[in-house]
Amino acid sequence: MEKTYKENLFYNFLKQVIFIAILAALFLGINNIYIQAQSDDSKYERGANLYFQAREMFVTQTPKLSEIITILEKSIISFIGIENKQLKYYWLAKIAYLKGVVEKERSNHEKAEEDFSFSKKLISESLDIGDFSEGYRLLADVEGQLISYRNLYYKAKYGPGIKGFIIKAIELDSGNEKAYISLAMYYRDAPLIAGGNLKKCKTILEKMIDSTHSNRINLFSLYLWINTAWINSDYNREKVRDCISLLSLFSNQADINYMAKRIEKKYQGI
């Protein structure tokens, strides 16, 4: 009888130990998830702040391009540690794209093409995990940069897909301002056979203002709009003026004039 009583005490004690162990494991697991979530949030915030700092520096009157690259490389370190793969690949793709734009600005075209290629790979991996508007918009913009470096075969193969990516981005988010701007640039620069049309370009900008309830265009988008107008028109000043005149729809004309003068100064003498 005494033996049975002791055995029962032992088994009850063992059950309590097992129960406590399970609770501890659950608590530690939940705590680790919470800590990881906090860690991801802090890494995301740090990385995003560095990215936006670099982008704001880039659109200043005299950007320090080497310093911008250094800041973007610090941003990469923050995002590499994020557990959410789709978010990580997306932000690393954004950073690689901006690095490509900066390298292109300082005429380091081999490095720019390398960055754009890496950006395409990363954003494609992010989209493999799941569709999202900004992913398709970024993929379209990256492809638009890459075809300027690639041969005729590449342009024929991948160029037509750019419009489809942008339309997909707008279908997923009708308020995606950058996607509308990318689509307007597509109609502005595409050859007639591919649907290029300045009237369509203006219509898209009007639709953007109507859909997003915003009649302002940010400085980085302005840089891309005006800089590509120079490059894609073979530095034809009259064509560039026509492209800039399409921006009369926007209210922040001071920003538009500032960026137009900044980029025109860069191409003086060409």
Contact present, 234 and 190 (Cβ < 8 Å): no
> What does the pLDDT look like over 49-81, one tens digit per residue?
999 999 999 999 999 999 999 999 999 999 999
Q: How far apart, in Å, are the Cα atoms of 75 and each of 36, 55, 197, 218?
A: 19, 12, 38, 22
For residue 249, the 8-state DSSP code is G
The structural domains of the chain, with segments of one domain joined by +, span 215-270
What are 260's two structure tokens?
Answer: 């137009």
pTM metric for this prediction: 0.85
User: Rg of the chain over CA atoms, in angstroms?
Assistant: 26
Amino acid in position 169: A
> What does the pLDDT look like over 188-235, one tens digit per residue?
999 888 889 999 999 999 999 999 999 999 999 999 999 999 999 999
> What does the pLDDT look like over 141-186, one tens digit per residue?
999 999 999 999 999 899 999 999 999 999 999 999 999 999 999 9
